[in-house]
A and B are shown apart, each in its own frame.
Chain A
Amino acid sequence: MDRSIIHINVADFAVAVERVLDRRLAGRPVIIAPEGAARAVVYDMSEEAYQAGVRKHMPLGWALRRCRGAQVLSPRPERYRQAMARMLKTALPYSPLIEPGDDDGHLFVDISGSSRLLGPPVDVAWRLGRHIQADMELVPIWSLAANKLVAKTASRLVKPDGEYIVEPGDEAAFLAPLPLFLIPGIESGDLARLNDFNITRVSEACRLTIDQLQTIVDQRGAVIHDRIRGIDPSPVRQIGQPLPKIVHSIELGNDIHHRVQAEHSLYRLVEQAGRDLRRQILAARRVGLILEYTDGVRRARQTAIRPATANDFSLFNHARQVLDLAWTRRVRMRRMTVICDRLVFPPAQRPLFESERRHMEKQDRLVAAMDRIRRRFGSQAVTVGRTLVA
């Protein structure tokens, strides 16, 4: 069956919510940033400020030099969460399959198979947009396509307002003339490597086979091959059904900027995540890390784990790589969050070579022994040396 996915996007969501709350902000350049904080950076900005050169995560001082008349407001995440919850409620009569973004004004709504009840998908998309506008006074962009990838790309084309319908079967032709940076899921590293080969447009990348793409972007070749053709089988999740994942975070009481301390904290988080995974007899195929700095900036990075693992040592090796990717600023860290997702049952396949197999089995036995001790004598009964210093 054809899928019909609506993407709703309220551009510059934080500013849009603030403007609903205070009408005097309409038409004026607005910057959302923690004003009093040292080295504060831009959290969100209005279209007027964007046109003046202000960008997200830009230091507030720079932003104000580029847009001198801007009104600066402190972020109020609770308000944005409330607005997001209300948007979700407005969309509920249209489908049980609604996937909201991270309090950022994005909703994916899957209305596949509901046309006998609700009418043609395009009419449903238009009505939903109007419903949100009437109910919340927010003017959303709406797009309709056969999958999330194409719907989101279409929304990007009409930002800050408008609508876009991509006819079923028209996905590849729709994407072909676009620049690669507009395609969700193609990361900056991929773009840089493709740019080295003078490949900047979807149509240019589409001429390459998977093998040729893998030569340029390694393992991500297959993913990019599908994305530039508009192939995205990922489902819209049911409301209240988050993807299974294991999340642990630590508040760094004394803000830190020290490698050893950071790794100690990271290992503790990985240990907790590993224990949860083993308790559920699962293994993670991806580990992610969110670093929050003292100036409010967040950095999130992740890496795939092959083969999937629940072993602390293996998880930590991957998490340490992610820490290298995420920790790029000379600003103290305030909070660290480890996320293990893409959970699967532990792989049955063992390493091919004897030495690798012995090493892995030794690590598994060690972790299993620690688990047994902790179950019997408590979680603090045995600890790894590197966590003692933290």
Chain B
Amino acid sequence: MATKTSNTNIPPILIGTSGYAYSEWVDAGFYPPGTGSARMLEHYTRFFSVTEINYTWYQMPKAPAMDRMRRKVPEGFYFAAKLTRTLTHEVDPDGWPAQAARYREGIAPLMQSGQLLAVLVQLPPFFRRNPQNRRYLAKLLDALAGLPLAVEFRHVSWATERVFTGLKERRVALVCVDVPDLPDLFPPLCRVTSPDLFYVRFHGRNAGGWRSGKMQKQFDYDYSEAELAGWSRQHIPEMAQKATTGIIFFNNHVRGQAPRNAQMLMAQMAGW
């Protein structure tokens, strides 16, 4: 069973971006001119209290590096970390249990310090709901039990009541996504499956670029005030009533749109 961190001082809703080290955010004006990658986290923490660590998807987290990173942030700053691709996208049928154990070891410094709010299990579009994948997901969630898990599906076949019930039984959060309206894509469903956590990801609504295979097109989208108002007035307050903590990330990183939209949503939330 997944459990939430014991820190009781966590604000009920935290807003941030998926990753923070983008050199194009300097050109976009979010980071001051000349800010190097090494100084970006420090600057980021002045605006946001949470970030989603992306690079743990590319490589297995290493405890010393995680420990160094957590020490760079001020008190009251939190992290969500993506699960490594060898457990979601490039799974070795025999080797994955060892990979899961390595992930737990690597992420331990954040877990022990109470700075880890969630582990994001982002599953690929080709991961459809079938008996084999259902069994794998069940085993994976068991192997990662004890971590604050959130599952993001990318295929519509997982949008069924049985899946939500299964997640509820495990107290695993279902990631609510804001994505383009495309066939086969998991739809934006604001279901809260864990009383500890709700998790929202704004990917942008660039339908034309979504399947381009290029991040710079897929996540190139600028939300309008009106588009975010629906979330800040209705969906987020509703979810917040059903879970003690909510984390919201903007993944539309291209041209600094993510921090701009995150600040826009923060302003709207403060205004209601």
Is there contact, CB below 8 Å, between B37 and A118? no
Choose one: B54, B64, B69, B214; the contact of A122 (CB below 8 Å): B54
> Would you give the shortest CB distance from B233 to chain A, in whole angstroms?
33
Is there contact, CB below 8 Å, between A170 and B68? yes
Residues of B within 8 A of A (CB): 19, 21-24, 27, 36-39, 54-55, 58-59, 64-65, 68-69, 214-216, 253, 255
Taking chain B's interface residues, is the majority helix, strand, or loop, or is none over half, making it mixed?
helix
Choose one: A113, A165, A174; the contact of B23 (CB below 8 Å): A113
Interface residues of A in 85-124 (CB under 8 A from B): 113, 115-120, 122-123
Choose one: B22, B59, B69, B216; the contact of A117 (CB below 8 Å): B216
Is there contact, CB below 8 Å, between B215 and A120? yes
Choose one: A120, A126, A173; the contact of B68 (CB below 8 Å): A173
Residues of A within 8 A of B (CB): 1-2, 113, 115-120, 122-123, 125-126, 146, 162-165, 167-170, 173-174, 177
> Would you give the shortest CB distance from A177 to chain B, in whole angstroms?
8
Is there contact, CB below 8 Å, between B59 and A170? no
Is there contact, CB below 8 Å, between B68 and A2? no
Given contacts A167-B65, A168-B37, A169-B38, contact A116 B24 (CB under 8 A): yes
Given contacts A2-B23, A122-B58, contact A168 B216 (CB under 8 A): no
Is there contact, CB below 8 Å, between A115 and B22? yes
Given contacts A168-B36, A170-B65, contact A119 B214 (CB under 8 A): yes
Q: Which residues of A contact B19 (CB under 8 A)?
A: 120
Is there contact, CB below 8 Å, between B54 and A2? no
| Chain B residue at minimum C-beta to C-beta distance from A125 | B58
> Would you give the shortest CB distance from A190 to chain B, in whole angstroms?
26
Given contacts A119-B215, A119-B216, contact A168 B38 (CB under 8 A): yes
For the complex, what is the distance from the CA of A126 to the CA of B55, rounded to whole Å? 11
Given contacts A117-B216, A173-B68, contact A122 B27 (CB under 8 A): no
For the complex, what is the distance from the CA of A116 to the CA of B255, rounded to whole Å? 8
| Chain B residue at minimum C-beta to C-beta distance from A169 | B38
Q: Which residues of B contact A118 (CB under 8 A)?
A: 216
Choose one: B23, B24, B37, B215; the contact of A167 (CB below 8 Å): B37
> Would you give the shortest CB distance from B92 to chain A, in whole angstroms?
12
Is there contact, CB below 8 Å, between B59 and A163? yes
Is there contact, CB below 8 Å, between A2 and B215? no
Q: Which residues of A contact B37 (CB under 8 A)?
A: 2, 146, 167-169
Q: Which residues of B contact A168 (CB under 8 A)?
A: 21, 36-38
Choose one: B27, B39, B58; the contact of A163 (CB below 8 Å): B58
Q: Which residues of A contact B58 (CB under 8 A)?
A: 122-123, 125-126, 163, 165
